[in-house]
Structure 1
């Protein structure tokens, strides 16, 4: 990305930063009694409904929802539908969140969306009767404006947080998807899996088919009940649609799915074992779209799934020693990360470079990694909610794991490299913000490149599409 592009993204971010951003501040406004999306709906109405029109897949969940979105969007594009993809957060620049056919929104495109929206936002503020907007709510509106300007035929929309009161829950979905649910953001979503499932299933609309990943029994009972109330046909992955891994390497996996739409075999360039389940969910969602009249050929779906790009999720950045970046940040995702580490680890030592946001369950998260052995280098991202490494060390002191603190992420990565030989493994985890800083520094730090040979880069197309 060129410096000028950086500056123009900065202009957009400076505007958005004048609104409360719960991605960087503790606490969540919609935990307040009486919160609704009426202000978002009104803004969209004044903009002539940019969220309406395209065939829509809406995806909620605690983990895996971004991967599902990326796979569904890639398949739809490969099948000839111009497809918008809205996800969060971004790794390297704001445009990643809003893509059309795999191409990030340019600064000029986001500026156009911002300027179209801005007068209406100001008018509503002056009226004094509407709730104040948040950063994420306005970015969501900008995504819909960009999709309309781009003439997309389909849009795949990832929930930001929860579902029922998330800004994205203004769409009229053709298919709703619920990825795996676990305890997260309990102060906002509820302190049980059942309560959280109720919030996630808030995206279910009357008559729209629902595809659900395997869930804890408590969560599944809630989802089944809500689908019944809203007359929404439920497809349960793991029951109605099953999958098996045919082959796996550090380059990806070959999978076979079976279900009411028949059998299908395909490759995905995603290494983590949990991505097999996510792929099955994506295939089930695409099949549900076919039932809704969208023409999707199995061969095109396979091609699209094989082109999926989703950096920062068990991403293999180098191989000698093995360097993996993963955004796992809660106990459930850390458990899955540990399972994948066990599958790919060599004979050498393991070192984890960890940094968390301050609101995460760090003790139980690190405990899930501890069974793989290894040592820790504790660091932090530059994100305002990042936990100080010293505080992190105190919180996990009872686990008895050898650890050192290095506040600077790239220095922490260099320190980890010095702790393993070429047959060892270094894993960066705890926060997507930390992963993003590692990716930014990877090609810029010549010391890193000398100590770790250059490896495949994250595939995030720049604003010029190259």
Structure 2
């Protein structure tokens, strides 16, 4: 391959899933590459929601502490390279090309020798990431689980610490139909004698996580038990809250809004304390304060425009929609809230829209977008009909750009326009809005 575009075509041209979940293929793939995953220091982060925010809080704390921090995240919002970053900066196009050429001969070899065929798209990207960071580009690597945990391609790594941020209903066709089944998949990242930091979970999934940790002799740190966080107060697009745990009480401010973001910050802070304890170094409260205050996460209740006020949020499943509804009802009640929503067909579209309809003084427009890799969209017409007799006005406008323009025409200074749903949708809308509102 000679160009970045050819490298992306090679990566995206691979199959997405295999019929039988296994890590055998990934382990073989990495073995042929020299086991790069064994040459890095990592922290592994799983969870239904909150992985990305927890990761970005922790990255900023560690950077404030003087570390060079690699990250592996998915999906990307604007450009593919975001998935492999150092100190928040995506790696260069020529590095993507170099890494793709590095792994391709091994991919070809496995294509020829494995009965089920060679690595999937995600396995290839993960191998590229491990290969890159094994070269020494970062002091520590924060690795976000792609899907689930137990059979996720990232789960070949043995980290210094792990985290499970939340357990909720998402990807049930793969992970299971109960919270306990989903928790068992997430708990698959727990390794022997590796400490685990977890968010506030319901009792059934908590039992699964706790039992798995005990079976692996892994010390468990639970939000609400070993550490805690106060209910945040939102003021002028910032929130303040208190963290307590690890013999520390810290008053914090954050640009990321919502109770759930304060909880994600608490998980990240606890991971930092665990990391410092493992390295036998003194934790710096100043790094915690600076890191949490500086953390930004594009597409997560991100204000794109101030006149009119436009916010985008990737609430792509029911738990995220519930969190977003709570934030809006608690903190944004001055004016009308116009919502534009689009989700993929494999999500609980009806439940997401019904949840968002709980927002006070809301008006909802369902819309569509150009889905990646021909992913199927939800049936907006069907959802509109099902919501027709409820208190909140729900309409359908197939062109999201027209939907945004019509909402803006109605808005006054106290109103808010929220664009939410699929992260792929948010990515497309964000690029459009930043261009459309570039003068702001």
Residue 8 of structure 1: CA displacement? 5.5
Among residues 3, 8, 12, which one is paired with 2:7 in the alignment?
A: 12
Among residues 54, 66, 75, which one is paired with 1:89 in the alignment?
A: 75
Match of 2:186 in 1: 200
What TM-score do you get using the length of structure 1 for normalisation? 0.88
Task: Report whether the alignment pairs 1:44 with 2:30.
Answer: yes
- Rounded to whole Å, the distance in 1 between the matches of 2:52 and 2:89 is 16
Alignment of 1:269-288 (within 5 A): 269-288=255-274
Asked whether the equivalents of residues 346 and 423 of structure 1 are also in contact (C-alpha less than 8 Å), the reply is: no
Alignment of 1:303-322 (within 5 A): 303-322=290-309
Alignment of 1:330-369 (within 5 A): 330-369=317-356
Asked whether the equivalents of residues 193 and 218 of structure 2 are also in contact (C-alpha less than 8 Å), the reply is: yes
Alignment of 1:410-425 (within 5 A): 410-425=401-416
Residue 216 of structure 1: CA displacement? 0.7
- Rounded to whole Å, the distance in 1 between the matches of 2:406 and 2:202 is 39
Once the two structures are superposed, what CA deviation does each residue of 1:3-57 show, in whole Å capped at 9, x if it has no partner? xxxx955333211122123xxxxxx54xx45x21111111111111222233211
- Rounded to whole Å, the distance in 2 between the matches of 1:443 and 1:130 is 43
Residue 232 of structure 1: CA displacement? 0.5
Once the two structures are superposed, what CA deviation does each residue of 1:105-136 show, in whole Å capped at 9, x if it has no partner? 11111111111111111111122346432111
**Is the deviation greater in 270-279 or in 386-395?**
386-395
Among residues 305, 311, 319, which one is paired with 1:324 in the alignment?
A: 311
Alignment of 1:387-406 (within 5 A): 387-397=378-388, 399=390, 401-406=392-397
Aligned to 2:37, the other structure's residue is in SS state coil
What TM-score do you get using the length of structure 2 for normalisation? 0.93
Match of 1:381 in 2: 369
Asked whether the equivalents of residues 346 and 425 of structure 1 are also in contact (C-alpha less than 8 Å), the reply is: no
Asked whether the equivalents of residues 43 and 120 of structure 1 are also in contact (C-alpha less than 8 Å), the reply is: yes
Match of 1:71 in 2: 57
- Rounded to whole Å, the distance in 1 between the matches of 2:95 and 2:329 is 44
Residue 346 of structure 1: CA displacement? 4.4
Task: Report whether the alignment pairs 1:100 with 2:91.
Answer: no
What is the RMSD of the two structures over their aligned residues, measured on CA atoms? 2.0
- Rounded to whole Å, the distance in 2 between the matches of 1:399 and 1:378 is 15
Query: 1:205–1:415: structure 2 CA closer, same or farther, 3 Å change rule?
Result: same
Query: 1:54–1:254: structure 2 CA closer, same or farther, 3 Å change rule?
Result: farther
Aligned to 1:309, the other structure's residue is in SS state coil
Match of 1:124 in 2: 110
- Rounded to whole Å, the distance in 2 between the matches of 1:305 and 1:327 is 21
Asked whether the equivalents of residues 15 and 120 of structure 2 are also in contact (C-alpha less than 8 Å), the reply is: yes
- Rounded to whole Å, the distance in 2 between the matches of 1:309 and 1:105 is 19
Residue 246 of structure 1: CA displacement? 6.1
Among residues 414, 421, 439, which one is paired with 1:430 in the alignment?
A: 421
Once the two structures are superposed, what CA deviation does each residue of 1:66-102 show, in whole Å capped at 9, x if it has no partner? 1111111221122122211111111100011111111
Asked whether the equivalents of residues 243 and 257 of structure 1 are also in contact (C-alpha less than 8 Å), the reply is: yes
Residue 294 of structure 1: CA displacement? 5.9
- Rounded to whole Å, the distance in 1 between the matches of 2:120 and 2:289 is 38
Match of 1:459 in 2: none
Once the two structures are superposed, what CA deviation does each residue of 1:179-217 show, in whole Å capped at 9, x if it has no partner? 111111111111100000000000000000000100011
- Rounded to whole Å, the distance in 2 between the matches of 1:399 and 1:171 is 49
Asked whether the equivalents of residues 232 and 258 of structure 2 are also in contact (C-alpha less than 8 Å), the reply is: no
**Is the deviation greater in 82-91 or in 311-320?**
311-320
Once the two structures are superposed, what CA deviation does each residue of 1:211-237 show, in whole Å capped at 9, x if it has no partner? 010001110010011011111000001
- Rounded to whole Å, the distance in 2 between the matches of 1:43 and 1:323 is 45
Structure 1: where are the runs of 5+ without partners?
1-6, 22-27, 456-466
Structure 2: where are the runs of 5+ without partners?
none
- Rounded to whole Å, the distance in 2 between the matches of 1:357 and 1:396 is 18
Aligned residues: 434
Residue 177 of structure 1: CA displacement? 0.2
Aligned to 1:407, the other structure's residue is in SS state strand
Query: 1:154–1:415: structure 2 CA closer, same or farther, 3 Å change rule?
Result: same
